[in-house]
Amino acid sequence: MAIVRFIVRRLLAMLVLLFVISFLVFSLLYLAPGSAIDVLLKNVPRNPETVAALTAKYHLDEPFITQYWIWLQGALRLDFGESIQTTLPVTGEILARLPVTVFLAIYAFAIEMAIGLGVGVLAALRQRSVADRGLVALTVVGLSTPAFVSGVFLLYVFSVALGWFPAFGAGEGFLDRLWHLTLPAFSLAIVGSAFVVKHVRAAVLAVLDQDYVTFARARGISRSKVLFQYVLRNAMIPILGVSAMVLAFLLIGAVFIEVTFSINGMGSLVVKAANSQDLPMIQGVAIFIALIVMGFNLLADLAYLAADPRVRNRTLA
């Protein structure tokens, strides 16, 4: 099957890329200012015993490549060692925080797509109207509004001034979490929505000009059928193409949003680690994020294949 071959080929390419990234990530330990011992010791008092213990634990007396090999074997088992800060296993810390971040990301993604598709299509269909111009203006501003800025604005209005939503925390249980994460999710979704609106509007406008839309109307095909099966069906293709970038935006935004709203997720974990140069933690998070991004890229490519027979023909032939 051509599709299986394609997936296998892509998975192999991902493996190679992951290998390169893992090497770069491992090298961080040696690129960091000071010796590896200095970096890993950090808060622990330096004496021959602690140095010896660390050297043994991280195989620091072995050659660089051997160390990498040992580290890679651990990494394959999702073992990135212990956090310098908390001395807890890195993977455990990450997995404990993953659900909140995933919840936040999916919530924000749903908002982005709802706003992005709705507003984008509306603006395109009403091109050059007052509504379109207003929406375009909002889009331009939205694109220039980073998550931490939209975060403090929404926090101020809905939490401080109006007191409708909690100002921090992620909540317990589904409904409480939904309530706690509503402000963060909307703050996170603002820039992404603007991005999706921009691309949807452009894609729909491009399709509206196509002969096949005019020809469909010329055959008396109903308006809703033309809109959904001719216009949107084709406009979706370029939008799937940028959906991987939407996820990248979400991940970056989540970091800022979690800090702004004091949410204990992956984002605040990586910022804390970065601020305290907690290298094992940084390495672990970096590999996790790379995995997530690559997995989503593959999904986006498959969706792209499913949506466009021409691409399917070109890629799978």
Candidate list 97, 198, 246, 304; residue touching other proteins; CB under 8 A: 198
Contacts of 95 (CB under 8 A, 6+ apart): none
What distance in Å separates the CA atoms of residue 253 and residue 255, rounded to the nearest whole number?
5
CB of residue 156 to other proteins, shortest distance in Å: 5
57 forms part of the interface with other proteins (CB under 8 A): no
What distance in Å separates the CA atoms of residue 116 and residue 250, rounded to the nearest whole number?
14
Judge whether 49 and 41 are in contact, CB under 8 Å: no
Type of residue numbered 188: L
Q: What does the angle CA 116 – CA 117 – CA 119 come to, to the nearest 5 degrees?
A: 70
What distance in Å separates the CA atoms of residue 271 and residue 222, rounded to the nearest whole number?
53
Radius of gyration of the chain (CA): 24
CB of residue 200 to other proteins, shortest distance in Å: 10
Candidate list 238, 239, 265, 300; residue touching other proteins; CB under 8 A: 238
87 forms part of the interface with other proteins (CB under 8 A): no
Q: Which of residues 133-152 bind other proteins (CB under 8 A)?
A: 133, 136-137, 139-141, 143-149, 152
Instruction: Kindly write out the interface string for residues 25-54 of this chain, putting x where it contacts other proteins by CB under 8 A and - elsewhere.
Output: x--x--xxx---------------------
CB of 56 or CB of 140, closer to other proteins = 140
163 forms part of the interface with other proteins (CB under 8 A): no
234 forms part of the interface with other proteins (CB under 8 A): yes
Judge whether 253 and 269 are in contact, CB under 8 Å: no
> Of 56-64, 75-83, 99-107, 270-278, which part binds other proteins (CB under 8 A)?
270-278
> Of 53-61, 67-75, 86-94, 222-230, which part binds other proteins (CB under 8 A)?
222-230
96 forms part of the interface with other proteins (CB under 8 A): no
* Cβ atoms within 10 Å of 214's Cβ, excluding its own: 12
CB of residue 20 to other proteins, shortest distance in Å: 7
Candidate list 156, 164, 178, 228; residue touching other proteins; CB under 8 A: 156
CB of 263 or CB of 279, closer to other proteins = 279
129 forms part of the interface with other proteins (CB under 8 A): no
Tokens of 68: 């990498």
CB of 185 or CB of 204, closer to other proteins = 204
193 forms part of the interface with other proteins (CB under 8 A): no
Q: Which of 31, 87, 40, 85 is nearest to 59 (CA)?
A: 40
128 forms part of the interface with other proteins (CB under 8 A): yes
Give a three-class secondary structure readout of 180-232. HHHHHHHHHHHHHHHHHHHHHHHHHHHHHCCHHHHHHHHCCCCHHHHHHHHHH
CB of 172 or CB of 211, closer to other proteins = 211
